[in-house]
Structure 1
Amino acid sequence: MLNYIMEILPSLLSGAGMTLQIFFWTIILSIPLGVILGLGLTSKFKPLTALIKFYVWLMRGTPLLLQLIFVFYGLPVIGIVFDRYDAALFAFVLNYTAYFAEIFRGGLQSILKGQYESAKVLRLTYWQTLRKIVIPQVFKIVIPSVGNEVINLIKDSSLVYVIGIGDLLRAGNVATARDVTLIPLVLVGVIYLLLTAVVTYILGKVEARYSTWR
């Protein structure tokens, strides 16, 4: 059994590398976009707020799996063509930006209005107020919710197999079908658990660091 594990482990680790690529780029792109849309959701410009609310409702109200299929197989009908990796990343960023936008909206609305008024007394501009006073507090408030979504992203990344990307789950499925054994899927589960454990540990450290500022 050990020899078999060592034989299939390289392909599983290669698949895990693709999974981590999707994970990291989704985080890097969707969190800043979520902050921007979260600000838009708190805007007094009603048409903008309504448009972002519709986007958030659409992304949160439909399955990520359906969004992946639509981006890769549906958009080419109207002439928009992505390769497999770009389609997966595009769908993931669209989906997670919506969730992060709603999280940051809640964080922004939890900041007392008195803090904005105090910033005006100090003659800070709106953007200075956001950067120096509001955003740091919002990040501290939303860390647990953001952490939950980050952990979900690790597991959701397995959905990219439906458009033929060689991720961790696909590598496990191929080995299982070829060798007629469940060992590859067990190893896939172990790798996902390890990835989740590492991310949970890092998030715990970040949350503990921010908690010292209370």
Structure 2
Amino acid sequence: MLVTMDIEQLKLVWQSAWNSLPTLLAATPVTLGFALGAMLLGLPLGFLVALARLSRFGPLRWLSSVFVSFMRGTPLLVQIFVIYYGLPSLGVTLNPIAGGIIALTLNAAAYLSETIRAAILSIPHGQREAATSLGLSGAQTMRLIILPQAARVALPSMSNTLIGLVKDTSLVSVITVVELLRSAQLVIARTFEPFGPYLMAALIYWLISSLLELVQRALERRFSRGFTK
């Protein structure tokens, strides 16, 4: 089947995309807020889960492993449904914003925990022994020796997690959160022209991801200089 599109159709698509831009830009801070909020909450939770995974206490290690396996092994969309639509049957009712943030945070924490755990394990064990010989406690060794080096190792993966979160925020549109994708859908419901708004939404997602990639590279260069001096 031959698909053709004349100049007038292209103009209509571009006009539809351009007209949707103010509405989409107004919803973009919501998308960024969800992504950054989930990252800021997920990072300390992921660190605690990583420590639990490295713990010598068997039950704690097992529970944290089950958490990571479940969150990484089930779709984020299903997790959102369980938290927002499932918890009310247990007497816990959340508004869409809280439900979305909790789901994104738990999902991000699972992935971040594996990143942090791998980064900690990448530090040679001899450095721990050297710190012990200098009289540093376990907590001091972790804070002063292990974590600064592990942060440099984990930075690319953590940045990728944040970029992934920006895109994953589109899933909270299913629980009526008016973020970027939901905003595009509302525009389409008014105009009955889907291509332009969806294309503009995709371009905004791409622009945000590209900017975060630039920040990631700048941070990596900064860390590299710091460790090579």
Q: Which amino acid aligns with 1:202?
A: V
Q: 136-145 vs 85-94, which deviates more?
A: 136-145
Among residues 29, 47, 52, which one is paired with 1:40 in the alignment? 52
Identify unmatched segments of 5+ residues in structure 2.
Answer: 1-11
Aligned equivalent of 1:119: 131
TM-score (norm 2): 0.89
Counterparts of 1:1-214 in structure 2, within 5 Å, are: 7-181=19-193, 182-212=195-225, 213-214=227-228
Identify unmatched segments of 5+ residues in structure 1.
Answer: none
CA drift of 1:8 comes to 2.9
Query: Which whole-Å CA distance do the structure 1 matches of 2:146 and 2:48 have between them?
Result: 13
SS at structure 2 position matched to 1:93: helix
CA drift of 1:14 comes to 1.9
Q: 133-142 vs 108-117, which deviates more?
A: 108-117
State whether residues 39 and 108 of structure 1, in contact with CA within 8 Å, keep that contact through their aligned partners in structure 2. Answer: no
Q: Which amino acid aligns with 1:73?
A: Y
CA drift of 1:192 comes to 0.6
Q: Deviations over 1:138-162 (max 9, x none)?
A: 1111112112211111111110101
Q: Which amino acid aligns with 1:189?
A: A
Identity fraction in percent: 35
State whether residues 16 and 196 of structure 2, in contact with CA within 8 Å, keep that contact through their aligned partners in structure 1. Answer: no
Q: Which amino acid aligns with 2:31?
A: T
Q: 176-185 vs 195-204, which deviates more?
A: 176-185
Query: Which whole-Å CA distance do the structure 2 matches of 1:120 and 1:17 have between them?
Result: 47
CA drift of 1:206 comes to 0.8
State whether residues 16 and 197 of structure 2, in contact with CA within 8 Å, keep that contact through their aligned partners in structure 1. Answer: no
Query: Which whole-Å CA distance do the structure 2 matches of 1:14 and 1:87 have between them?
Result: 21
CA drift of 1:9 comes to 2.4
Larger Rg: 2
Query: Which whole-Å CA distance do the structure 2 matches of 1:132 and 1:68 have between them?
Result: 38
State whether residues 37 and 52 of structure 1, in contact with CA within 8 Å, keep that contact through their aligned partners in structure 2. Answer: yes
State the aligned residue count. 214
Q: Which runs of 4+ in 1 moved over 2 A?
A: 1-10
Query: Which whole-Å CA distance do the structure 1 matches of 2:82 and 2:176 have between them?
Result: 14
CA drift of 1:7 comes to 4.2
CA drift of 1:180 comes to 1.8
State whether residues 65 and 159 of structure 1, in contact with CA within 8 Å, keep that contact through their aligned partners in structure 2. Answer: yes
